[in-house]
């Protein structure tokens, strides 16, 4: 069992572990433990037999789950004390985790690495855990999440209902912009997004712009697009589940966003990604960039705590790239 019970992007960047385990042990039963919200996104991932969802990591819950699953091996990619103790009390014979936590004695297979140095990509740190099992994998792996027409149709139905008087068809050309973040990294200011949107709408293009987020993030999104709500090119998608979001991203010509979960979903469904990344070492694209060759990453040249360095990414520069990309891809 692979255990990764934190955020969306973290889970996607852990999927290569499942890919390598499937390739190494083709007949093994491989399960993955994730938060309930992420479950639907990867429940049919090709390398995983069962995706188990959990709302809260508790010792009793983990130990019960392990006894029911009768696991020979558990990999704590995102280690927590409750998880580590639950794995031991649940009778998991081989428990792989970090060797640097105070509770590392609960793991009988330990890997020693300092991720805070941010010398590698997160997916590579995850794969490095497998070295304890004598699995050494040096190829680059890009997770691939599949979506169906059913998910796309459901997403279009929700978007149409939420945008009265506007029409979105599966054949429409559109880009997706995701503004909100969870605050784990420096992000582009709302003012920069507003400036960019204004520039994009000045072009006589016919592609639409879909703004994604959750219903809890609606206030931030509408603060930025409020002046353009009546524009037929502007649509919002704020009540999609993650599989529906993946379907919308899959059909998009381009995705634009800060370093957050949807940037990794976009990469995993094969969409071209424009990422706005922090220059801080532990937040940079070196550690958290999308796993795809189809990308353009904007990152300030250096960090400076005395000012907002993300303003060094100019809306005009991002706009020019998007316009040029769209013109070349639509031809």
- Could you read off the pLDDT of 110-162 as tens digits, one per residue? 999 888 888 899 999 999 999 999 999 888 788 999 999 999 999 999 999 99
Six-digit token string for 194: 């507003």
Q: What is the pTM of this model?
A: 0.96
331 confidence band (pLDDT: 50, 70, 90) = low
pLDDT of residue 144: 96
What mean pLDDT value characterizes the chain?
A: 95
pLDDT of residue 269: 98
% pLDDT > 90, the chain: 87
CATH topology of domain 149-330: Rossmann fold (3.40.50)
% pLDDT > 70, the chain: 100
In 43-189, which residue ranges form alpha helices assigned H by DSSP? 59-69, 81-89, 122-128, 149-162
In our burial notation (b when 16+ CB lie closer than 10 A, e otherwise), range 217-242 reads: bbeebeebbeebeeeebbbbbbebeb
Going from the C-alpha of 71 to that of each of 31, 67, 82, 127, the distances in angstroms are 9, 8, 17, 20
pLDDT of residue 228: 84
* Cα dihedral sign, 114-119-121-124: negative
Higher pLDDT, 316 or 206: 316
The architecture in CATH of the region 2-133 reads 3-Layer(aba) Sandwich (3.40)
Going from the C-alpha of 305 to that of each of 155, 276, 309, the distances in angstroms are 41, 18, 8
Query: Residue with structure tokens 């503004």?
Result: 179
Residue 204 has pLDDT above 90, yes or no: no
Q: Is-contact 46 39, C-beta < 8 A? A: no
Q: Is-contact 321 274, C-beta < 8 A? A: yes
How far does Cα 297 stand from its chain's mean position? 15
Six-digit token string for 120: 């590698």
CA nearest to 255, candidates 296, 214, 224, 219: 296
Q: Is-contact 113 131, C-beta < 8 A? A: no
Beta carbons within 8 Å of 300's beta carbon, 6+ residues apart: 278, 279, 309, 310, 312, 313
Q: 2-133 and 149-330 share one CATH topology?
A: yes
Burial class (CB in 10 A: 0-12, 13-18, 19+), 136: exposed
pLDDT of residue 309: 97
pLDDT of residue 138: 83
C-alpha angle 117-291-81 in degrees, rounded to nearest 5: 50
Six-digit token string for 169: 């068809």
24 confidence band (pLDDT: 50, 70, 90) = very high
How far does Cα 323 stand from its chain's mean position? 25
In whole angstroms, give the CA distance from residue 57 to residue 68: 16
For 59-109, how does the pLDDT look when each residue is reduced to its tens digit (9 = 90+)?
999 999 999 999 999 999 999 999 999 999 999 999 999 999 999 999 999
pLDDT of residue 180: 94
Residue ranges of the domains in the chain?
Answer: 2-133, 149-330
pLDDT of residue 199: 94
């Amino acid at each position: 069992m692979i255990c990764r019970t934190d955020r969306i992007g973290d889970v996607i960047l852990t999927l290569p572990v499942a890919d390598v385990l499937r390739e190494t042990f083709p007949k093994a039963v491989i399960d993955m433990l994730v938060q309930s919200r992420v479950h639907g996104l990867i429940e049919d991932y090709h390398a995983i037999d069962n995706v188990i969802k959990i709302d809260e990591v508790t010792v009793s819950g983990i130990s019960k789950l392990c006894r029911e699953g009768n696991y020979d091996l558990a990999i704590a990619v995102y280690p927590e004390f409750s998880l580590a103790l639950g794995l031991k009390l649940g009778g998991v014979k081989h428990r792989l985790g970090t060797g640097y936590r105070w509770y590392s004695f609960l793991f009988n297979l330990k890997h020693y690495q300092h991720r805070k140095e941010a010398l590698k990509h997160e997916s590579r740190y995850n794969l490095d855990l497998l070295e304890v099992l004598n699995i050494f994998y040096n190829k680059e792996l890009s997770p691939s999440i599949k979506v169906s027409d059913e998910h796309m149709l459901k997403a279009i139905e929700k978007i149409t209902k939420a945008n009265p008087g506007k029409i979105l068809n599966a054949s429409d050309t559109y880009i997706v912009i995701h503004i909100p973040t969870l605050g784990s990294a420096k992000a582009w200011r709302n003012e920069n997004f507003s400036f960019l949107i204004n520039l994009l709408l000045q072009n006589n293009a016919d592609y639409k712009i879909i703004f994604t987020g959750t219903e809890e993030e609606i206030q931030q999104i509408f603060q930025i697009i409020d002046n353009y709500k009546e524009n037929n090119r502007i649509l919002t998608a704020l009540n999609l589940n993650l599989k529906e979001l993946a379907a919308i991203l899959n059909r998009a010509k381009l995705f634009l966003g800060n370093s957050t979960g949807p940037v990794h979903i976009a990469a995993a469904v094969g969409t071209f990604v424009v990422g706005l990344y922090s220059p801080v070492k532990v937040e940079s694209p070196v550690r958290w960039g999308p796993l795809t060759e189809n990308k353009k990453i904007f990152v300030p040249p250096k960090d400076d705590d005395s000012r907002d360095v993300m303003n060094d990414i100019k809306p005009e520069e991002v706009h020019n790239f998007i316009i040029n990309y769209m013109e070349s891809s639509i031809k």
